[in-house]
């Protein structure tokens, strides 16, 4: 019998995958597929165990696009701390991401994107690349063809305004007095999603101060007409929402000239206190890079010098977002995902047959238990009476635990046989109770907040990039429903409301929209296992429509894939794209949950995963299958290509997890979290 190496102790432990591979199946063809799957499981298990940190967590690189790297250099230039080594390393990475046509994209294989290309170009100018260098001339020509700087998004023009390359008066106004709006007033800061809120508050200070540092060089080559670098923008019709908010922005510009100085100063100081109160123990804000960058700039403008403890910790936290590559290039992560990666890795290993009391799973559980958040955060503004108990996505983000991570951590912990079961049950109980308390009024769940659905924030002229609200989504709701089902709460009225919402959200073609993963394959791969865990039979019409859709979009090579363009061009790209390991796994997880194990579609998918596995047990995946903002901000989670294939293969070999529990076994009472 084959054994799996325990990366912590060097001991070898037999796995269920090894035992399963010794079992003859009914047909030679099925036996061949099963043996290939079991072999792939063993190799993938060994690889994933080898990637665990000594403290118990897993974390893959989180790759986005070069705006992170460009803005890091611009920040350092603004603060006067840019150094040659950092600049050289960042430029090496940025150059390496340039496409043949001179542009930069926001995801692998995607089209050139104007604002990203502008920011990359400016960063390379800072690194010493000259405008007449072939790669720079190609980029600037493309930028002018697309309308130049004037056609770029607001955030790009804010960065340029910091150096006088754009006029502050030609940017949307963000008054710091916004901090005083009570929660019942439209456009108060809690109407925005937590990621937007943490960015907007510091930017109100930047907008009020309108700083300009001397530009190190002109950017005339990026304007369509250098003699008119800031051409006036036409207004939308007054009767439209866009037109109304554009005119409100003009009123705010006029208010700026008459705003009482004492009120404005007090508002900026209140905003500064809000920012400082939300700085995490590691110095970051929200565990993500953009709010940290803008918070550092805002506080610096209010007189906080770089040696102030808040500033020093903030700058040190930004250094931790840097990933140094073997070639000397330096990539900046938008955030880091250890909690998410660890719970998904734990689920994958357990479903692949690693024993529930394996030392590395226990160590992972210990680490996750230590990461539970037991103090209120911004979510409590809408749920003041709800006891805390969630988990965040990052190492440090106690202000913003999220519902998705909490559900998946509970599912991971439930798979581990821990040496302190009482501690485990109490943690699970707190997590379940918190998730139930974060249900929105429509019966579904968003990622971070309750009922964060105001229609107004997305209308602001300032908000021209990505999602700024956090409405409920099918993938998050599905993960919560699946977790509640495992906890014996399938028939709880709150769970049933979530199920009904999911059924109502199914697309006409049988798929579900994926808010946090790409896209309909992810949504469907999340929802089907949740519905079947909650008791819907494989024969249910919604399940049959989902199965039919997945089978219809399977690629000729047996895998599944979906391009980011499905967010923008739904009909042409829904379920369409090069096969990837993670998306193939999501489709298989849905089909297996629906009882389709013996079908040709599943066999072909399993064969594709086994055939594309590398010798070391890993998979390669250059394509972006994660989502920050649909279409606008895409993510390549480097661990997705490892954890999801192993989960799917494990479930093919061993069957669905928690089958006995879902057939009637009840969890301990503490876990029900009423």
Query: Could you say which of 351, 366, 404, 470 is catalytic?
Result: 404
358 lies in the same domain as 327? no
Token pair of 639 as six digits? 């661990």
Say what the pLDDT of residue 554 is.
98
Q: Which of 147-151, 246-250, 599-603 has the lowest mean pLDDT?
A: 246-250
Per-residue pLDDT of 41-99, as tens digits, reads: 999 999 999 999 999 999 999 999 999 999 999 999 999 999 999 999 999 999 999 99
Report residue 195 CA to chain centroid gap. 11
pLDDT > 90 in the chain, percent:
85
632 lies in the same domain as 490? yes
The band of 239, judged by pLDDT with boundaries at 50, 70 and 90, is confident
Say what the pLDDT of residue 673 is.
39
pLDDT of 251 > 80? The answer is: yes
159 lies in the same domain as 304? yes
Average pLDDT over residues 215-229: 90
Rounded to whole angstroms, what are the CA distances from 264 to 85, 176, 177? 40, 7, 7
Token pair of 618 as six digits? 């890993």
The band of 669, judged by pLDDT with boundaries at 50, 70 and 90, is very low
Average pLDDT over residues 502-527: 98
Domain final position from 279, 307, 332: 332
Domain assignment of residue 405, yes or no = yes
Say what the pLDDT of residue 241 is.
74
Residue 233 CA to residue 221 CA, distance in Å, equals 20
371 lies in the same domain as 311? no
593 lies in the same domain as 638? yes
Say what the pLDDT of residue 27 is.
58
627 lies in the same domain as 539? yes
Say what the pLDDT of residue 236 is.
78
Residue 531 CA to residue 504 CA, distance in Å, equals 13
387 lies in the same domain as 324? no
Domain final position from 332, 357, 381: 332
309 lies in the same domain as 366? no
Please check whether residue 244 is in contact with residue 254, taking contact to mean a CB–CB distance below 8 angstroms.
Answer: no
Average pLDDT over residues 352-378: 97
Domain assignment of residue 367, yes or no = yes
Say what the pLDDT of residue 504 is.
98
Helical axes 194-209 vs 289-301, angle rounded to 10°? 30
273 lies in the same domain as 359? no
327 lies in the same domain as 207? yes
Residue 136 CA to residue 190 CA, distance in Å, equals 42
The band of 226, judged by pLDDT with boundaries at 50, 70 and 90, is confident
Domain assignment of residue 357, yes or no = yes
Token pair of 133 as six digits? 């260098």
Please check whether residue 559 is in contact with residue 513, taking contact to mean a CB–CB distance below 8 angstroms.
Answer: no
Domain assignment of residue 670, yes or no = no
570: containing domain: 485-658
Say what the pLDDT of residue 670 is.
38
Token pair of 283 as six digits? 């110095």
The band of 664, judged by pLDDT with boundaries at 50, 70 and 90, is low
Task: List all residues 6 or more positions away from 442 whose beta carbon is below 8 Å from its beta carbon.
Answer: 472, 501
Burial tier of 376 (Cβ tally within 10 Å: 0-12, 13-18, 19+): middle
Domain final position from 317, 332, 347: 332
Residue 126 CA to residue 88 CA, distance in Å, equals 10
Report residue 336 CA to chain centroid gap. 9
- Nearest CA to 649 out of 602, 580, 598, 600 is that of 602
**3-state secondary structure (DSSP) of residue 388:** coil
Helix%, strand%, coil% for the chain, nearest 5: 50, 5, 45
Say what the pLDDT of residue 252 is.
85
326 lies in the same domain as 341? no
The band of 319, judged by pLDDT with boundaries at 50, 70 and 90, is very high
Residue 260 CA to residue 418 CA, distance in Å, equals 60
The band of 667, judged by pLDDT with boundaries at 50, 70 and 90, is very low
Please check whether residue 618 is in contact with residue 629, taking contact to mean a CB–CB distance below 8 angstroms.
Answer: no
Say what the pLDDT of residue 415 is.
97
- Is 404 part of the annotated catalytic residue set? yes
Per-residue pLDDT of 414-453, as tens digits, reads: 999 999 999 999 999 999 999 999 999 999 999 999 999 9
Q: Considering the chain, what is the average pLDDT of its residues?
A: 92
The better pLDDT of the pair 463, 653 is held by 653
**3-state secondary structure (DSSP) of residue 567:** helix
Token pair of 672 as six digits? 């029900």
214 lies in the same domain as 265? yes
Average pLDDT over residues 646-661: 90
Say what the pLDDT of residue 28 is.
58
- Long-range pairs for 348-351: beta carbons < 8 A, 24 or more residues apart: 348/48, 348/642, 348/643, 348/644, 348/646, 348/647, 348/650, 349/45, 349/48, 349/49, 349/646, 350/412, 350/415, 350/416, 350/657, 351/415, 351/646, 351/647, 351/650, 351/651, 351/654, 351/657
The band of 230, judged by pLDDT with boundaries at 50, 70 and 90, is confident
Domain assignment of residue 359, yes or no = yes
The better pLDDT of the pair 2, 160 is held by 160
Domain assignment of residue 250, yes or no = yes
Domain assignment of residue 288, yes or no = yes
Say what the pLDDT of residue 466 is.
81
Domain assignment of residue 499, yes or no = yes
Number of domains within the chain: 3
Q: Identify the CATH number of the domain in which residue 548 sits.
A: 1.50.10.20
């Amino acid at each position: 019998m084959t054994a799996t190496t325990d990366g912590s102790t060097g001991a070898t432990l037999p796995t269920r995958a090894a035992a399963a591979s010794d079992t003859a199946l009914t047909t030679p063809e099925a036996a061949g597929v099963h043996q290939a799957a079991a072999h792939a499981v063993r190799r993938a298990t060994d690889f994933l165990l080898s990637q665990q940190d000594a403290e118990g967590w897993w974390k893959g690189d989180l790759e986005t696009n070069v705006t992170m790297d460009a803005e890091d250099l611009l920040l350092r230039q603004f603060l006067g701390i840019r150094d040659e080594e950092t600049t050289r390393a960042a430029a090496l990475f940025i150059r390496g991401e340039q496409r043949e046509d001179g542009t930069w994209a926001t995801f692998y294989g995607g089209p050139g994107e104007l604002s990203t290309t502008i920011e990359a170009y400016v960063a390379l100018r800072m690194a010493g690349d000259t405008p007449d260098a072939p790669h720079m001339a190609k980029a600037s020509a493309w930028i002018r063809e697309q309308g130049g700087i004037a056609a770029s998004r607001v955030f790009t023009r804010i960065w340029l305004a910091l150096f006088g390359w754009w006029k502050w008066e030609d940017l949307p106004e963000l008054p710091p007095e916004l901090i005083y709006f009570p929660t019942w007033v439209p456009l108060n800061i809690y109407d925005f999603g937590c990621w937007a809120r943490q960015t907007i508050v510091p930017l109100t200070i930047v907008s009020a101060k309108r700083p300009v540092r001397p530009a190190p060089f002109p950017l005339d080559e990026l304007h369509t007409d250098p003699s008119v670098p800031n051409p006036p923008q036409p207004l939308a019709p007054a009767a439209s929402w866009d037109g109304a908010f554009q005119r409100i922005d003009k009123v705010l510009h006029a208010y700026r000239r008459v705003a009482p100085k004492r009120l404005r100063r007090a508002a900026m100081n209140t905003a500064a206190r809000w920012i400082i109160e939300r700085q995490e123990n590691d110095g970051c804000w929200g565990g993500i890079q953009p709010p940290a960058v803008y918070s550092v700039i805002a506080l610096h403008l209010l007189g906080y010098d770089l040696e102030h403890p808040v500033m020093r910790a903030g700058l040190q936290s930004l250094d931790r977002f840097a990933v140094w590559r073997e070639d000397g290039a330096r990539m900046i992560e938008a955030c880091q995902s250890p909690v998410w990666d660890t719970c998904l890795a734990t689920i994958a290993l357990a479903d692949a047959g690693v024993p529930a009391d394996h030392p590395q799973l226990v160590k992972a559980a210990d680490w996750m238990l230590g990461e539970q958040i037991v103090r209120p955060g911004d979510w409590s503004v809408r749920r003041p009476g709800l006891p805390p108990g969630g988990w965040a996505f990052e190492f440090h983000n106690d202000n913003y635990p999220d519902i998705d991570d909490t559900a998946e951590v509970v599912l991971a912990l439930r798979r581990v046989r821990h040496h302190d079961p009482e501690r485990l049950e109490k943690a699970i109980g707190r997590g379940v109770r918190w998730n139930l308390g974060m249900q929105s009024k429509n019966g579904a769940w968003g990622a971070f907040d309750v009922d964060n659905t105001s229609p107004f924030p997305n209308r602001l002229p300032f908000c021209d990039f990505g999602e700024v609200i956090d409405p409920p989504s099918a993938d998050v709701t599905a993960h919560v429903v699946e977790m509640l089902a495992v906890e014996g709460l399938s028939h709880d009225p709150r769970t049933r409301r979530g199920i009904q919402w999911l059924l109502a959200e199914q697309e006409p073609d049988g798929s579900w929209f994926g808010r946090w993963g790409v896209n309909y394959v992810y949504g469907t791969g999340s929802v089907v296992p949740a519905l079947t865990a909650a008791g819907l039979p494989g024969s249910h019409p919604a399940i049959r429509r989902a199965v039919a859709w997945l089978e219809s979009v399977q690629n000729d090579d047996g895998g599944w894939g979906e391009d980011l363009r499905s967010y923008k061009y739904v009909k042409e790209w829904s379920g369409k794209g090069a096969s990837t390991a993670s998306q193939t796994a999501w489709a298989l997880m849905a089909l297996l949950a629906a009882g389709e194990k013996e079908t040709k579609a599943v066999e072909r998918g399993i064969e594709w995963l086994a055939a594309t596995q590398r010798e070391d047990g890993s998979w390669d995946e250059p394509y972006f299958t994660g989502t920050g903002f649909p279409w606008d901000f895409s993510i390549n989670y480097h661990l997705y290509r490892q954890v999801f294939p192993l989960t799917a293969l494990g479930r093919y070999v061993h069957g669905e997890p928690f089958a006995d529990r879902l057939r009637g076994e009840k969890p301990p009472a503490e876990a029900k979290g009423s």
